Amino acid sequence: MIKNSNILGVDIGSVSISLAEITPDKQIWKTSYEFHQGMIRETLSRMLEEYDVTGICGIAATSSTPLLVKVNQQYDNRIAVMKACDHFHGQVQAILIVGGEKFGLIRFDDKGNYRDFKANTSCAAGTGSFLDQQAGRLGLKNTQALSELAFANTGSVPRIASRCAVFAKTDLVHAQQEGFALSQICDGLCRGLAKNIVDTLFAGESFQGKIVFTGGVAKNRSVVRHISSLIDQEVVVGESFYGAAGAALHLLDELLLKDRVRLFSVADVLISKKSGKKWFYPPLKFQDTIYPDFPGIESFAYEPFDIQSGFSGRVETDLYENLRNTSPEAYLGMDIGSTSTKA
């Protein structure tokens, strides 16, 4: 390897960091992947200690990577993953990306041209963070433990809602009460997550070509198995470093000799941490404002009792006008929520 000729790709997401160092002939030289637990700078610095930064001449990052790395260029996450998939797999029909906070499906036409992109909403259901939360509820060390238990399951799979973490908790309790083993419950969670992904991204679609599955959740073999079963097609599992590798490959194609950098230590890669606060506007000051009040003429607790059903309860009641001995026209408004009813 020629000294100072490799490219380093950096991809920092909501829960993990992936690095990929590639050679001038586009071969993978070194990769790494770690969960950062919110300690992004510390985790990245520790990971970079395993690299010979003196052999790196350029740094590329995905658009999700925060501004703490001295990069030559940043690339959109999807563009980076598409570049990596094209390099490692050739022409594909779709790329399924499932990370810690979002998931999406990139589709291509029969000629390999970009077609469109579908993604989830801002809710984390169906992402790696959902499994992280459920692993904690089940007392497991991490999602890797949950994945291994789920993949080892040979029994029936309980139905567990994955569209909402609140409902999932209820289903977990019910599954435990019904006597399902921990491996079955874990597999149920993975199947629920897979079904959520398929219902959101694959509904009404049919694929004949290659589908590459990448992102942190692609490491979960149970989720991979259930997605393949639900869409009735095998998926090719890609590596978790595709974002970093794709960014590096893009930079390798674009980097000019004059833009090459010289690195001597990890400190040369990271942007120095600024101390203190910089104020762009004066701090906000608390100041009382005029806020409308809605005083009533009477407030009391009404306790209805239904003889037929035996129901009794306490209803908070506010009167804003004395309507006794009057017959005005009125409209009744009702708001029925998950835990209370207002009228």
Give the pLDDT band of residue 312 (cuts 50, 70, 90): low
Going by C-alpha positions, the residue among 3, 4, 9 that lies closest to residue 59 is: 9
**What's the pLDDT tens digit per position in 232-283?**
999 999 998 999 999 999 999 987 766 788 888 898 899 887 656 677 788 7
pLDDT of residue 60: 94
| Domain ranges within the chain, ordered by starting residue | 6-89+242-268, 94-237
* pTM summary value: 0.73
Report the percent of the chain where pLDDT is more than 70: 90
**94-237: which CATH topology?**
Nucleotidyltransferase; domain 5 (3.30.420)
Fold match between domain 6-89+242-268 and domain 94-237: yes
3-state SS string over the chain? CCCCCEEEEEEECCCEEEEEEECCCCCEEEEEEEECCCCHHHHHHHHHCCCCHHHEEEEEEECCCCCCECCCEEECHHHHHHHHHHHHHCCCCEEEEECCCCEEEEEECCCCCEEEEEECCCCCCCCHHHHHHHHHHCCCCCHHHHHHHHHHCCCCCCCCCCCCHHHHHHHHHHHHHCCCCHHHHHHHHHHHHHHHHHHHHCCCCCCCCCEEEECHHHHCHHHHHHHHHHHCCCCEECCCCHHHHHHHHHHHHHCCHHHCCCCCCHHHCECCCCCCCCCCCCCCCCCCCCCCCCCCCEEEEECCECCCCCCECCEEEEECCCCCCCCCCCCCCCEECCCCEEC
**What's the pLDDT tens digit per position in 73-86?**
999 999 999 999 99
pLDDT of residue 308: 65
Give the pLDDT band of residue 211 (cuts 50, 70, 90): very high
Q: How many CB atoms neighbour CB 138 within 10 A?
A: 16
CATH superfamily of 6-89+242-268: ATPase, nucleotide binding domain (3.30.420.40)
**What's the pLDDT tens digit per position in 12-61?**
998 899 999 999 999 999 999 998 988 999 999 999 999 999 999 999 99
Place of tokens 């501004």: 67
pLDDT of residue 324: 81
Query: Average pLDDT in the 147-165 region?
Result: 83
pLDDT at residue 182 is higher than 70: yes
pLDDT of residue 1: 47
Q: In one letter, which amino acid is 265?
A: S
